[in-house]
Protein backbone atom coordinates (compact mmCIF):
# COMPACT_ATOMS: atom_id res chain seq x y z
CA UNK A 1 0.00 0.00 0.00
CA UNK A 2 2.84 2.36 0.89
CA UNK A 3 4.47 1.60 -2.45
CA UNK A 4 1.26 2.48 -4.29
CA UNK A 5 1.01 5.79 -2.44
CA UNK A 6 4.66 6.51 -3.21
CA UNK A 7 4.03 5.87 -6.89
CA UNK A 8 1.00 8.13 -6.81
CA UNK A 9 3.05 10.84 -5.10
CA UNK A 10 5.72 10.61 -7.81
CA UNK A 11 3.10 10.85 -10.57
CA UNK A 12 1.45 13.87 -8.96
CA UNK A 13 4.76 15.66 -8.44
CA UNK A 14 5.81 15.00 -12.03
CA UNK A 15 2.52 16.32 -13.34
CA UNK A 16 2.73 19.43 -11.16
CA UNK A 17 6.32 20.04 -12.29
CA UNK A 18 5.29 19.83 -15.92
CA UNK A 19 2.39 22.20 -15.24
CA UNK A 20 4.61 24.73 -13.49
CA UNK A 21 7.25 24.51 -16.23
CA UNK A 22 4.60 25.07 -18.88
CA UNK A 23 3.25 28.09 -17.02
CA UNK A 24 6.70 29.61 -16.54
CA UNK A 25 7.59 29.27 -20.20
CA UNK A 26 4.54 30.32 -22.20
CA UNK A 27 4.73 29.82 -25.98
CA UNK A 28 5.71 32.81 -28.04
CA UNK A 29 2.95 34.56 -29.89
CA UNK A 30 3.09 35.69 -33.48
CA UNK A 31 3.85 39.39 -33.46
CA UNK A 32 3.01 41.65 -36.38
CA UNK A 33 6.01 43.74 -37.45
CA UNK A 34 5.37 47.29 -38.62
CA UNK A 35 6.79 48.29 -42.00
CA UNK A 36 8.81 51.07 -40.35
CA UNK A 37 10.70 48.38 -38.41
CA UNK A 38 11.56 46.61 -41.65
CA UNK A 39 12.45 49.47 -43.99
CA UNK A 40 13.99 51.98 -41.57
CA UNK A 41 17.44 51.16 -40.17
CA UNK A 42 18.07 52.78 -36.76
CA UNK A 43 21.41 54.41 -35.95
CA UNK A 44 23.39 52.90 -33.10
CA UNK A 45 25.35 55.57 -31.25
CA UNK A 46 28.60 54.17 -29.83
CA UNK A 47 31.02 55.93 -27.52
CA UNK A 48 34.62 55.70 -28.58
CA UNK A 49 37.03 54.42 -25.95
CA UNK A 50 40.68 55.45 -26.23
CA UNK A 51 42.89 52.62 -25.07
CA UNK A 52 46.55 53.62 -24.72
CA UNK A 53 47.97 50.14 -25.13
CA UNK A 54 45.91 48.43 -27.82
CA UNK A 55 47.78 45.65 -29.64
CA UNK A 56 46.88 45.80 -33.30
CA UNK A 57 46.85 42.63 -35.32
CA UNK A 58 49.92 42.43 -37.46
CA UNK A 59 49.14 41.81 -41.13
CA UNK A 60 50.43 38.60 -42.63
CA UNK A 61 53.58 39.42 -44.58
CA UNK A 62 54.78 36.84 -47.06
CA UNK A 63 58.07 36.81 -48.94
CA UNK A 64 58.10 38.25 -52.44
CA UNK A 65 58.71 34.78 -53.82
CA UNK A 66 56.87 31.99 -52.02
CA UNK A 67 58.08 28.48 -52.75
CA UNK A 68 55.38 25.83 -52.28
CA UNK A 69 55.40 22.08 -52.81
CA UNK A 70 52.46 20.24 -54.31
CA UNK A 71 51.62 18.73 -50.92
CA UNK A 72 51.59 22.16 -49.27
CA UNK A 73 49.22 23.52 -51.92
CA UNK A 74 46.89 20.57 -51.40
CA UNK A 75 46.89 21.08 -47.64
CA UNK A 76 46.24 24.82 -47.96
CA UNK A 77 43.36 24.24 -50.36
CA UNK A 78 41.73 21.66 -48.08
CA UNK A 79 42.09 23.89 -45.02
CA UNK A 80 41.13 27.23 -46.56
CA UNK A 81 38.66 26.42 -49.33
CA UNK A 82 35.31 27.85 -48.20
CA UNK A 83 33.23 25.57 -50.43
CA UNK A 84 34.90 22.48 -48.94
CA UNK A 85 34.33 23.75 -45.40
CA UNK A 86 30.63 24.11 -46.14
CA UNK A 87 30.53 20.68 -47.76
CA UNK A 88 32.27 19.04 -44.79
CA UNK A 89 29.34 20.09 -42.60
CA UNK A 90 26.82 18.11 -44.66
CA UNK A 91 27.62 14.72 -43.00
CA UNK A 92 27.25 16.37 -39.58
CA UNK A 93 23.80 17.66 -40.49
CA UNK A 94 22.86 14.28 -41.94
CA UNK A 95 24.04 12.57 -38.73
CA UNK A 96 21.74 14.82 -36.67
CA UNK A 97 18.80 13.97 -38.92
CA UNK A 98 19.62 10.26 -38.47
CA UNK A 99 19.64 10.71 -34.69
CA UNK A 100 16.25 12.40 -34.89
CA UNK A 101 14.80 9.47 -36.80
CA UNK A 102 16.26 6.95 -34.34
CA UNK A 103 14.39 8.67 -31.53
CA UNK A 104 11.01 7.87 -33.07
CA UNK A 105 10.61 4.85 -30.74
CA UNK A 106 11.20 6.79 -27.53
CA UNK A 107 8.56 6.45 -24.81
CA UNK A 108 6.38 9.44 -23.93
CA UNK A 109 5.14 10.28 -20.44
CA UNK A 110 1.62 11.72 -20.42
CA UNK A 111 -0.39 13.34 -17.68
CA UNK A 112 -3.65 15.22 -17.39
CA UNK A 113 -5.34 16.73 -14.35
CA UNK A 114 -8.80 18.25 -14.24
CA UNK A 115 -10.82 19.89 -11.51
CA UNK A 116 -14.49 20.65 -11.98
CA UNK A 117 -17.04 22.31 -9.72
CA UNK A 118 -20.69 22.86 -10.59
CA UNK A 119 -23.75 24.34 -8.90
CA UNK A 120 -26.79 23.61 -11.10
CA UNK A 121 -30.50 23.80 -10.20
CA UNK A 122 -32.26 20.45 -9.85
CA UNK A 123 -35.86 19.23 -10.05
CA UNK A 124 -35.73 17.16 -6.87
CA UNK A 125 -34.26 17.56 -3.40
CA UNK A 126 -32.93 14.03 -3.72
CA UNK A 127 -30.71 15.10 -6.57
CA UNK A 128 -27.74 17.20 -5.77
CA UNK A 129 -27.09 20.50 -7.41
CA UNK A 130 -23.54 20.99 -6.16
CA UNK A 131 -20.75 18.70 -7.26
CA UNK A 132 -16.96 18.91 -7.34
CA UNK A 133 -14.58 16.45 -8.88
CA UNK A 134 -10.83 16.00 -9.40
CA UNK A 135 -9.47 13.67 -12.03
CA UNK A 136 -5.83 12.86 -12.69
CA UNK A 137 -4.42 10.49 -15.26
CA UNK A 138 -0.76 9.51 -15.71
CA UNK A 139 0.76 7.09 -18.15
CA UNK A 140 3.50 6.14 -20.58
CA UNK A 141 3.06 5.45 -24.30
CA UNK A 142 5.75 3.40 -26.02
CA UNK A 143 5.79 3.09 -29.83
CA UNK A 144 7.03 -0.34 -30.85
CA UNK A 145 9.29 -1.18 -33.79
CA UNK A 146 6.65 -3.65 -34.92
CA UNK A 147 4.32 -0.73 -35.59
CA UNK A 148 2.17 -1.13 -32.51
CA UNK A 149 1.75 1.05 -29.44
CA UNK A 150 2.01 -0.03 -25.81
CA UNK A 151 0.30 2.14 -23.18
CA UNK A 152 0.36 1.98 -19.38
CA UNK A 153 -1.81 4.27 -17.27
CA UNK A 154 -2.81 5.14 -13.72
CA UNK A 155 -6.03 7.01 -12.78
CA UNK A 156 -6.74 8.81 -9.52
CA UNK A 157 -10.04 10.67 -8.92
CA UNK A 158 -12.18 12.23 -6.20
CA UNK A 159 -15.87 13.19 -6.43
CA UNK A 160 -18.12 14.93 -3.91
CA UNK A 161 -21.80 15.89 -4.20
CA UNK A 162 -24.76 16.92 -2.06
CA UNK A 163 -26.92 14.28 -3.77
CA UNK A 164 -28.81 11.87 -1.50
CA UNK A 165 -28.34 9.03 -3.99
CA UNK A 166 -24.63 8.74 -3.33
CA UNK A 167 -23.86 6.19 -0.63
CA UNK A 168 -20.13 6.96 -0.69
CA UNK A 169 -19.71 10.71 -0.56
CA UNK A 170 -17.07 11.80 -1.23
CA UNK A 171 -15.73 8.82 -3.15
CA UNK A 172 -12.24 8.12 -4.40
CA UNK A 173 -11.48 6.13 -7.51
CA UNK A 174 -8.30 4.51 -8.77
CA UNK A 175 -7.49 2.51 -11.84
CA UNK A 176 -4.69 0.74 -13.67
CA UNK A 177 -4.85 0.22 -17.40
CA UNK A 178 -2.80 -1.51 -20.06
CA UNK A 179 -3.42 -1.48 -23.79
CA UNK A 180 -1.67 -2.78 -26.88
CA UNK A 181 -2.50 -2.16 -30.51
CA UNK A 182 -0.70 -3.87 -33.38
CA UNK A 183 -1.22 -3.49 -37.14
CA UNK A 184 -1.35 -6.79 -39.01
CA UNK A 185 -0.94 -5.75 -42.66
CA UNK A 186 -0.19 -2.09 -43.42
CA UNK A 187 2.73 -0.70 -41.34
CA UNK A 188 3.28 -4.07 -39.70
CA UNK A 189 6.79 -5.26 -38.86
CA UNK A 190 10.11 -3.77 -37.82
CA UNK A 191 11.43 -3.51 -41.40
CA UNK A 192 8.64 -1.19 -42.54
CA UNK A 193 8.68 0.95 -39.41
CA UNK A 194 12.45 1.45 -39.60
CA UNK A 195 12.12 2.74 -43.18
CA UNK A 196 12.65 6.40 -42.24
CA UNK A 197 15.74 5.45 -40.20
CA UNK A 198 17.21 3.57 -43.15
CA UNK A 199 16.52 6.50 -45.48
CA UNK A 200 18.25 8.88 -43.06
CA UNK A 201 21.22 6.49 -42.87
CA UNK A 202 21.41 6.29 -46.66
CA UNK A 203 21.27 10.09 -46.89
CA UNK A 204 24.14 10.33 -44.42
CA UNK A 205 26.16 7.85 -46.48
CA UNK A 206 25.40 9.78 -49.67
CA UNK A 207 26.50 13.05 -48.04
CA UNK A 208 29.82 11.43 -47.11
CA UNK A 209 30.25 10.13 -50.65
CA UNK A 210 29.60 13.59 -52.09
CA UNK A 211 32.09 15.15 -49.69
CA UNK A 212 34.71 12.73 -50.92
CA UNK A 213 33.84 13.65 -54.50
CA UNK A 214 34.22 17.34 -53.65
CA UNK A 215 37.57 16.75 -51.93
CA UNK A 216 38.81 14.64 -54.84
CA UNK A 217 37.73 17.29 -57.34
CA UNK A 218 39.51 20.00 -55.34
CA UNK A 219 42.74 17.98 -55.25
CA UNK A 220 42.52 17.47 -59.00
CA UNK A 221 41.97 21.21 -59.53
CA UNK A 222 44.95 22.10 -57.33
CA UNK A 223 47.20 19.64 -59.17
CA UNK A 224 46.14 21.02 -62.53
CA UNK A 225 46.91 24.60 -61.52
CA UNK A 226 50.18 23.57 -59.87
CA UNK A 227 51.66 21.69 -62.81
CA UNK A 228 50.32 24.29 -65.21
CA UNK A 229 52.16 26.98 -63.24
CA UNK A 230 55.28 24.82 -63.16
CA UNK A 231 55.22 24.48 -66.95
CA UNK A 232 54.58 28.19 -67.55
CA UNK A 233 57.35 29.28 -65.19
CA UNK A 234 59.81 26.94 -66.86
CA UNK A 235 58.67 28.23 -70.25
CA UNK A 236 59.26 31.79 -69.04
CA UNK A 237 62.81 30.77 -68.12
CA UNK A 238 63.24 29.37 -71.62
CA UNK A 239 61.99 32.60 -73.17
CA UNK A 240 64.34 34.67 -71.02
CA UNK A 241 67.21 32.37 -71.95
CA UNK A 242 66.35 32.78 -75.63
CA UNK A 243 66.29 36.54 -75.17
CA UNK A 244 69.76 36.42 -73.65
CA UNK A 245 70.98 34.31 -76.60
CA UNK A 246 69.40 36.75 -79.08
CA UNK A 247 71.02 39.63 -77.23
CA UNK A 248 74.40 37.95 -77.40
CA UNK A 249 73.78 37.23 -81.09
CA UNK A 250 73.14 40.94 -81.68
CA UNK A 251 76.38 41.93 -79.95
CA UNK A 252 78.32 39.36 -81.95
CA UNK A 253 76.70 40.60 -85.17
CA UNK A 254 77.73 44.18 -84.41
CA UNK A 255 81.33 43.07 -83.92
CA UNK A 256 81.30 41.11 -87.17
CA UNK A 257 79.84 44.10 -89.03
CA UNK A 258 82.58 46.34 -87.63
CA UNK A 259 85.12 43.79 -88.83
CA UNK A 260 83.47 43.76 -92.26
CA UNK A 261 82.74 40.04 -92.15
CA UNK A 262 78.92 40.33 -92.46
CA UNK A 263 76.60 42.86 -94.03
CA UNK A 264 74.93 45.72 -92.13
CA UNK A 265 71.50 44.15 -92.72
CA UNK A 266 72.37 41.40 -90.24
CA UNK A 267 72.14 43.92 -87.39
CA UNK A 268 68.54 44.68 -88.40
CA UNK A 269 67.74 40.97 -88.53
CA UNK A 270 69.28 40.43 -85.09
CA UNK A 271 67.35 43.38 -83.62
CA UNK A 272 64.08 42.03 -85.09
CA UNK A 273 64.79 38.65 -83.53
CA UNK A 274 65.52 40.30 -80.18
CA UNK A 275 62.22 42.21 -80.30
CA UNK A 276 60.38 39.00 -81.14
CA UNK A 277 61.88 37.27 -78.07
CA UNK A 278 60.88 40.22 -75.89
CA UNK A 279 57.27 39.81 -77.03
CA UNK A 280 57.47 36.10 -76.18
CA UNK A 281 58.66 37.01 -72.66
CA UNK A 282 55.75 39.43 -72.18
CA UNK A 283 53.23 36.77 -73.26
CA UNK A 284 54.87 34.13 -71.04
CA UNK A 285 54.86 36.45 -68.00
CA UNK A 286 51.17 37.22 -68.51
CA UNK A 287 50.36 33.50 -68.76
CA UNK A 288 52.25 32.92 -65.51
CA UNK A 289 50.24 35.64 -63.72
CA UNK A 290 46.94 34.21 -64.92
CA UNK A 291 47.82 30.67 -63.82
CA UNK A 292 49.27 31.95 -60.55
CA UNK A 293 46.09 33.85 -59.77
CA UNK A 294 44.05 30.68 -60.29
CA UNK A 295 46.27 28.77 -57.84
CA UNK A 296 46.04 31.60 -55.30
CA UNK A 297 42.27 31.48 -55.51
CA UNK A 298 42.18 27.74 -54.88
CA UNK A 299 44.60 27.63 -51.93
CA UNK A 300 43.14 30.85 -50.41
CA UNK A 301 46.12 31.47 -48.12
CA UNK A 302 46.11 34.44 -45.72
CA UNK A 303 48.10 37.34 -47.11
CA UNK A 304 48.12 35.79 -50.56
CA UNK A 305 45.15 37.49 -52.18
CA UNK A 306 44.40 37.54 -55.86
CA UNK A 307 45.85 41.07 -56.10
CA UNK A 308 48.96 40.33 -54.05
CA UNK A 309 52.31 40.85 -55.81
CA UNK A 310 53.79 37.69 -54.30
CA UNK A 311 55.07 35.17 -56.82
CA UNK A 312 54.44 31.45 -56.33
CA UNK A 313 57.34 29.15 -57.16
CA UNK A 314 56.50 25.44 -57.56
CA UNK A 315 59.08 23.51 -55.54
CA UNK A 316 58.02 19.99 -56.57
CA UNK A 317 59.61 18.55 -59.67
CA UNK A 318 58.01 16.06 -62.07
CA UNK A 319 59.07 12.45 -61.60
CA UNK A 320 58.52 10.84 -65.00
CA UNK A 321 58.37 7.06 -64.61
CA UNK A 322 56.87 4.67 -67.05
CA UNK A 323 54.19 2.24 -65.84
CA UNK A 324 52.77 -0.96 -67.24
CA UNK A 325 48.97 -1.23 -67.06
CA UNK A 326 46.57 -4.15 -66.95
CA UNK A 327 43.55 -2.46 -68.51
CA UNK A 328 40.91 -4.88 -67.23
CA UNK A 329 42.26 -4.81 -63.70
CA UNK A 330 42.33 -1.02 -63.66
CA UNK A 331 38.78 -0.85 -65.00
CA UNK A 332 37.60 -3.14 -62.20
CA UNK A 333 39.46 -1.04 -59.63
CA UNK A 334 37.70 2.05 -60.99
CA UNK A 335 34.26 0.43 -60.79
CA UNK A 336 34.97 -0.68 -57.21
CA UNK A 337 36.37 2.66 -56.04
CA UNK A 338 34.52 5.38 -57.93
CA UNK A 339 32.29 7.31 -55.57
CA UNK A 340 29.67 7.73 -58.29
CA UNK A 341 29.19 3.96 -58.32
CA UNK A 342 29.00 3.82 -54.53
CA UNK A 343 26.42 6.60 -54.54
CA UNK A 344 24.34 4.67 -57.08
CA UNK A 345 24.55 1.53 -54.94
CA UNK A 346 23.33 3.46 -51.91
CA UNK A 347 20.51 4.98 -53.95
CA UNK A 348 19.51 1.53 -55.20
CA UNK A 349 19.35 0.29 -51.61
CA UNK A 350 17.25 3.34 -50.80
CA UNK A 351 14.97 2.61 -53.76
CA UNK A 352 14.48 -0.95 -52.52
CA UNK A 353 13.46 0.33 -49.09
CA UNK A 354 11.03 2.79 -50.70
CA UNK A 355 9.47 0.04 -52.84
CA UNK A 356 9.00 -2.21 -49.82
CA UNK A 357 7.54 0.64 -47.80
CA UNK A 358 5.02 1.61 -50.47
CA UNK A 359 4.13 -2.05 -50.95
CA UNK A 360 3.19 -2.12 -47.27
CA UNK A 361 1.20 1.11 -47.68
CA UNK A 362 -0.84 -0.47 -50.46
CA UNK A 363 -2.15 -3.18 -48.10
CA UNK A 364 -5.42 -2.86 -46.16
CA UNK A 365 -5.19 -1.32 -42.68
CA UNK A 366 -5.99 -4.14 -40.25
CA UNK A 367 -5.06 -3.79 -36.58
CA UNK A 368 -5.63 -5.91 -33.48
CA UNK A 369 -6.05 -4.25 -30.10
CA UNK A 370 -6.18 -5.51 -26.53
CA UNK A 371 -7.02 -3.59 -23.38
CA UNK A 372 -6.87 -4.43 -19.68
CA UNK A 373 -8.11 -2.30 -16.80
CA UNK A 374 -8.55 -2.78 -13.07
CA UNK A 375 -10.18 -0.20 -10.80
CA UNK A 376 -10.84 0.52 -7.15
CA UNK A 377 -13.41 2.65 -5.26
CA UNK A 378 -13.64 3.78 -1.63
CA UNK A 379 -14.63 6.45 0.84
CA UNK A 380 -10.96 7.43 1.10
CA UNK A 381 -7.99 7.27 -1.19
CA UNK A 382 -6.51 4.58 0.99
CA UNK A 383 -9.64 2.45 0.70
CA UNK A 384 -9.66 2.90 -3.07
CA UNK A 385 -6.07 1.71 -3.41
CA UNK A 386 -6.67 -1.19 -1.00
CA UNK A 387 -9.57 -2.33 -3.16
CA UNK A 388 -7.38 -1.90 -6.28
CA UNK A 389 -4.63 -4.10 -4.86
CA UNK A 390 -6.91 -6.69 -3.26
CA UNK A 391 -8.27 -7.86 -6.63
CA UNK A 392 -11.65 -8.35 -4.93
CA UNK A 393 -13.41 -7.42 -8.13
CA UNK A 394 -12.59 -8.80 -11.51
CA UNK A 395 -10.63 -6.96 -14.11
CA UNK A 396 -11.85 -5.81 -17.48
CA UNK A 397 -10.51 -7.16 -20.77
CA UNK A 398 -11.27 -5.96 -24.24
CA UNK A 399 -10.30 -7.14 -27.71
CA UNK A 400 -10.80 -5.31 -30.96
CA UNK A 401 -10.20 -5.81 -34.62
CA UNK A 402 -10.22 -2.73 -36.84
CA UNK A 403 -10.16 -2.87 -40.61
CA UNK A 404 -9.90 -0.22 -43.32
CA UNK A 405 -9.90 -1.29 -46.98
CA UNK A 406 -9.64 1.46 -49.61
CA UNK A 407 -11.96 1.02 -52.54
CA UNK A 408 -9.66 1.03 -55.55
CA UNK A 409 -6.53 2.12 -53.63
CA UNK A 410 -5.25 3.90 -56.77
CA UNK A 411 -3.02 6.43 -55.00
CA UNK A 412 -1.06 3.76 -53.13
CA UNK A 413 -0.74 1.61 -56.26
CA UNK A 414 0.60 4.52 -58.31
CA UNK A 415 3.10 5.45 -55.60
CA UNK A 416 4.34 1.86 -55.57
CA UNK A 417 4.56 1.77 -59.35
CA UNK A 418 6.49 5.04 -59.40
CA UNK A 419 9.00 3.67 -56.88
CA UNK A 420 9.48 0.52 -58.98
CA UNK A 421 10.04 2.62 -62.13
CA UNK A 422 12.55 4.82 -60.34
CA UNK A 423 14.50 1.76 -59.24
CA UNK A 424 14.53 0.44 -62.82
CA UNK A 425 15.73 3.84 -64.04
CA UNK A 426 18.55 3.77 -61.49
CA UNK A 427 19.61 0.31 -62.66
CA UNK A 428 19.82 1.59 -66.23
CA UNK A 429 21.88 4.54 -64.98
CA UNK A 430 24.22 2.15 -63.19
CA UNK A 431 24.87 0.21 -66.39
CA UNK A 432 25.45 3.44 -68.31
CA UNK A 433 27.79 4.73 -65.60
CA UNK A 434 29.89 1.56 -65.77
CA UNK A 435 30.28 2.01 -69.51
CA UNK A 436 31.27 5.66 -69.04
CA UNK A 437 33.84 4.74 -66.37
CA UNK A 438 35.35 2.13 -68.66
CA UNK A 439 35.71 4.74 -71.42
CA UNK A 440 37.24 7.31 -69.05
CA UNK A 441 39.77 4.82 -67.68
CA UNK A 442 40.85 3.62 -71.12
CA UNK A 443 41.18 7.21 -72.32
CA UNK A 444 43.25 8.08 -69.23
CA UNK A 445 45.55 5.10 -69.82
CA UNK A 446 46.06 6.18 -73.42
CA UNK A 447 46.82 9.73 -72.25
CA UNK A 448 49.47 8.43 -69.87
CA UNK A 449 51.07 6.26 -72.55
CA UNK A 450 50.93 9.08 -75.09
CA UNK A 451 52.40 11.44 -72.48
CA UNK A 452 55.38 9.15 -71.98
CA UNK A 453 55.95 8.94 -75.70
CA UNK A 454 55.73 12.75 -75.88
CA UNK A 455 58.45 13.05 -73.22
CA UNK A 456 60.77 10.79 -75.20
CA UNK A 457 60.04 12.55 -78.49
CA UNK A 458 60.37 16.06 -77.04
CA UNK A 459 63.69 15.21 -75.39
CA UNK A 460 65.04 13.92 -78.67
CA UNK A 461 63.70 17.00 -80.42
CA UNK A 462 65.39 19.28 -77.87
CA UNK A 463 68.73 17.54 -78.37
CA UNK A 464 68.58 17.74 -82.17
CA UNK A 465 67.30 21.36 -82.09
CA UNK A 466 70.21 22.29 -79.83
CA UNK A 467 72.69 20.68 -82.19
CA UNK A 468 71.11 22.44 -85.15
CA UNK A 469 71.33 25.80 -83.37
CA UNK A 470 74.99 25.31 -82.56
CA UNK A 471 75.68 24.31 -86.17
CA UNK A 472 73.82 27.31 -87.58
CA UNK A 473 75.66 29.60 -85.20
CA UNK A 474 79.05 28.29 -86.32
CA UNK A 475 78.00 28.61 -89.94
CA UNK A 476 77.02 32.25 -89.28
CA UNK A 477 80.42 32.96 -87.75
CA UNK A 478 81.99 31.60 -90.94
CA UNK A 479 79.73 33.81 -93.04
CA UNK A 480 77.81 30.89 -94.49
CA UNK A 481 74.49 31.62 -92.77
CA UNK A 482 72.41 34.70 -92.04
CA UNK A 483 70.96 35.84 -88.74
CA UNK A 484 67.51 34.82 -89.97
CA UNK A 485 68.59 31.17 -90.13
CA UNK A 486 70.32 31.37 -86.76
CA UNK A 487 67.27 32.95 -85.13
CA UNK A 488 64.98 30.40 -86.74
CA UNK A 489 67.05 27.56 -85.30
CA UNK A 490 67.07 29.34 -81.96
CA UNK A 491 63.26 29.60 -82.06
CA UNK A 492 63.05 25.90 -82.91
CA UNK A 493 65.22 25.13 -79.89
CA UNK A 494 62.98 27.24 -77.64
CA UNK A 495 59.85 25.55 -78.97
CA UNK A 496 61.44 22.12 -78.43
CA UNK A 497 62.37 23.02 -74.84
CA UNK A 498 58.87 24.34 -74.18
CA UNK A 499 57.36 21.16 -75.64
CA UNK A 500 59.53 19.03 -73.34
CA UNK A 501 58.48 21.05 -70.30
CA UNK A 502 54.82 20.85 -71.28
CA UNK A 503 55.15 17.09 -71.90
CA UNK A 504 56.57 16.59 -68.38
CA UNK A 505 53.77 18.62 -66.78
CA UNK A 506 51.08 16.95 -68.90
CA UNK A 507 52.42 13.53 -67.96
CA UNK A 508 52.04 14.35 -64.25
CA UNK A 509 48.53 15.62 -64.88
CA UNK A 510 47.71 12.49 -66.91
CA UNK A 511 48.86 10.24 -64.04
CA UNK A 512 46.71 12.15 -61.58
CA UNK A 513 43.77 12.05 -63.97
CA UNK A 514 44.15 8.27 -64.10
CA UNK A 515 44.12 8.18 -60.30
CA UNK A 516 41.04 10.43 -60.36
CA UNK A 517 39.15 8.28 -62.86
CA UNK A 518 39.98 5.12 -60.88
CA UNK A 519 38.84 6.69 -57.60
CA UNK A 520 42.28 6.39 -55.99
CA UNK A 521 43.45 10.02 -56.09
CA UNK A 522 42.90 10.66 -52.38
CA UNK A 523 44.89 7.53 -51.54
CA UNK A 524 47.68 8.54 -53.90
CA UNK A 525 47.71 12.05 -52.38
CA UNK A 526 47.48 10.57 -48.83
CA UNK A 527 44.51 12.80 -47.99
CA UNK A 528 42.25 12.04 -45.04
CA UNK A 529 39.15 14.03 -44.12
CA UNK A 530 36.50 14.09 -41.43
CA UNK A 531 33.22 16.00 -41.05
CA UNK A 532 33.26 19.42 -39.42
CA UNK A 533 31.26 19.65 -36.18
CA UNK A 534 30.49 23.32 -35.42
CA UNK A 535 30.82 24.53 -31.84
CA UNK A 536 27.40 24.56 -30.21
Angle between helices 195-258 and 90-102 (to 10 degrees): 180
DSSP, res 114: E
High-pLDDT (> 70) share of the chain, %: 83
- pLDDT at residue 521 above 70? yes
Q: Which of 34-43, 85-94, 135-144, 457-466 has the lowest mean pLDDT?
A: 34-43
Range with the poorest average pLDDT among 108-122, 234-248, 502-516, 522-536: 522-536
Number of H helices, E strands in the chain: 14, 8
Q: How confident is the model at residue 535 (pLDDT cuts 50, 70, 90)?
A: low
- pLDDT per residue over 414-461, tens digit each? 889 998 998 898 888 888 999 999 999 999 999 999 999 999 999 999
pLDDT at 307 over 90: no
Give the per-residue pLDDT at 63.
Answer: 64
Q: Of 16-30, 138-152, 282-296, 379-393, which gets the smallest average pLDDT?
A: 16-30
309-319: pLDDT as tens digits: 889 999 999 98
What's the chain's average pLDDT? 82
87 vs 188, residue with greater confidence: 188
CA trace torsion 280, 65, 68, 454 (10° rounding): 20
Q: Provide the pairing of β-strand 149-161 with 396-404.
A: unpaired
pLDDT at 62 over 80: no
Please state the rounded mean pLDDT for residues 337-359.
Answer: 91
| DSSP characters over 125-190 | SSS-SEEEEEEEEEEEEEE-TTS-EEEEEEEEEEEEE--SS-SSSSEEEEEEEEEEEEESSTT-SH
CB 160 within 8 A of CB 361: no
Q: 169 pLDDT exceeds 70?
A: yes
Give pLDDT, residue 449.
93
In this structure, of 1-15, 170-184, 375-389, the range with the lowest mean pLDDT score is 1-15
- Name the residue among 276, 311, 315 with its Cα closest to residue 494: 276
Of the chain, the end-to-end C-alpha distance in Å amounts to 48
Helix axes 2-24, 381-390, angle to 10 degrees: 120
pTM: 0.71
| Residue 172 pLDDT > 80 | yes
Nearest to 211 by CA among 430, 496, 530, 433: 530
Instruction: Write down the pLDDT at residue 264.
Output: 85
Report pLDDT digits (tens) over 6-48. Answer: 444 434 344 434 433 434 344 343 333 344 443 344 444 444 4
In the structure, what pLDDT confidence band is assigned to residue 501 with cuts at 50, 70 and 90? very high
- Contacts (Cβ under 8 Å, ≥6 apart) of 187: 147, 193, 360, 361, 365
The gap from C-alpha 301 to its chain's centroid, in whole angstroms, comes to 23
Q: Within 10 Å of residue 364's Cβ, how many Cβ atoms?
A: 12
Summarize pLDDT for 239-289 with one digit per residue, the tens.
998 888 888 888 888 888 888 877 888 888 888 888 888 888 999 999 999
Nearest to 5 by CA among 390, 387, 382: 382
Lowest mean pLDDT among 137-141, 381-385, 460-464: 381-385
- The pLDDT of residue 527: 62
Amino acid sequence: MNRMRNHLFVFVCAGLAMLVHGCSNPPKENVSVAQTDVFQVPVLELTEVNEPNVMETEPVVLPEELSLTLEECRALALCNNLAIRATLMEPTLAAEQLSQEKSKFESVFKSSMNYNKSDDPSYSTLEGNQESSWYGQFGVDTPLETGGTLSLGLVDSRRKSDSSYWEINPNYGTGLSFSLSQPLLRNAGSYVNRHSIRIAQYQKDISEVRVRLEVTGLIRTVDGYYWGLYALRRELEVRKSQYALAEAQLEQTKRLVEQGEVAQVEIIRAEAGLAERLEAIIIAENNVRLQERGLKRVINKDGLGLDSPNRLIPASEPNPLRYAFDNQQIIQVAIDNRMEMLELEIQLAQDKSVVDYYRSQSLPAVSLSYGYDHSGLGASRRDAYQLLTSHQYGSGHSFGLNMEIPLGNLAAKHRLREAVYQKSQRLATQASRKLMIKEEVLNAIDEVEAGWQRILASRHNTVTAGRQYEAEKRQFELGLRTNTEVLDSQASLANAQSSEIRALADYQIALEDLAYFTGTLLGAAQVEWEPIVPAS
